[in-house]
Amino acid sequence: MYARVDEQPDRSPERVALVTGANRGTGRAIAAELAEAGMQVWELNRNPSGSPTEIICDLSEPAELSAAITEVLQRVDRLDALVTNAVDRYFAPVADIDMQRWNAALTVNLTSIVATVQQTLPLLRRSQGSIVLMGSHAGTRFFESGLSYCATKAALKALCEVLLLEERPYGVRTSLVSPGAIANEDGDRSPMKMSTVSVAKVVRDLVLNPSDVAVGEIELRPASLGPPVVAGLDRLQSV
């Protein structure tokens, strides 16, 4: 049923990574960090990044996504890492949710991730590679108007745990990264947020971890903390 995990993985000279949503912000920084680590990095982007190894596709369109992944897999002979970073941030109160936007957000934030993992697993198994799912504090800290974002980020915890159970016998490790506030926008220098480069370095380390270590989940918080809007017992009045 399972491949032997003591089989030697593919050790061809250049390791290969696939990153979704790498045209800006955290995804761009992750792609850069993996490239600096010596990996050939392929990107699936909705908007162009200018990379010679990017495929433009809309992750909310299953057929388009599948074709893009197929194109990547036809152009590489191995895959060592998959980082799912693309996200559709749709915010609206439950009473006002537009169901077409809801469906698009769920497709990008969850269904496309499952589809991408499924389609790349054969090569990830061959290389005994890594999957990194980019989650969020929103997966455990819910907020008004955030249902589509919070629900899909919460679902990534289940996906990570199931993959850890199903794929470790094949040598594939899965990690969930759940960061807090990131300075994703150009020009954002807030000391209360993590830089995209800092988050990307954590992702790089997860990909490059020793093959006998599986980090199931890692939570990241900004090192600086501003004064709370509500503190102490009064927090209970804001739940």
Task: Dig out the tokens for 121 from the structure.
Answer: 């697993």
Q: At 13, is the pLDDT very low, low, confident or very high (cuts 50, 70, 90)? A: low
What CATH number belongs to 16-238?
A: 3.40.50.720
State the average pLDDT over residues 122-126.
98
Say if residue 62's pLDDT is above 80.
yes
Q: What pLDDT does residue 186 have? A: 84
Say if residue 66's pLDDT is above 70.
yes
Residue type, 117: V
Q: What is the tens place of the pLDDT at every residue in 19-38?
A: 999 999 999 999 999 999 99
Say if residue 219's pLDDT is above 90.
yes
For the chain, the structural domain boundaries read 16-238
- As a whole number of Å, the CA-based R_g of the chain is 18
Q: What pLDDT does residue 228 have? A: 78
Q: What is the tens place of the pLDDT at every residue in 175-202?
A: 999 999 999 888 888 888 999 999 999 9
Q: At 173, is the pLDDT very low, low, confident or very high (cuts 50, 70, 90)? A: very high
3-state helix/strand/coil string of 24-92: CHHHHHHHHHHHHCCCEEEEEECCCCCCCCEEECCCCCHHHHHHHHHHHHHHCCCCCEEEECCCCCCCC
Residue type, 183: A
Q: What pLDDT does residue 11 have? A: 42
State the average pLDDT over residues 214-219.
97
Say if residue 106's pLDDT is above 70.
yes
Closest CA to 72 of 33, 103, 39, 43: 43
Q: At 235, is the pLDDT very low, low, confident or very high (cuts 50, 70, 90)? A: low
Torsion angle, CA of 97/101/104/108, rounded to 10 degrees? -80
**Cross-strand partners of 114:** none
Q: At 10, is the pLDDT very low, low, confident or very high (cuts 50, 70, 90)? A: very low
d(CA 150, CA 89): 10
Q: What pLDDT does residue 236 have? A: 56
Count of Cβ atoms closer than 10 Å to residue 175 Cβ: 24
Say if residue 238's pLDDT is above 70.
no
pTM for the predicted model, two decimal places = 0.91
Mean pLDDT in the chain? Answer: 92
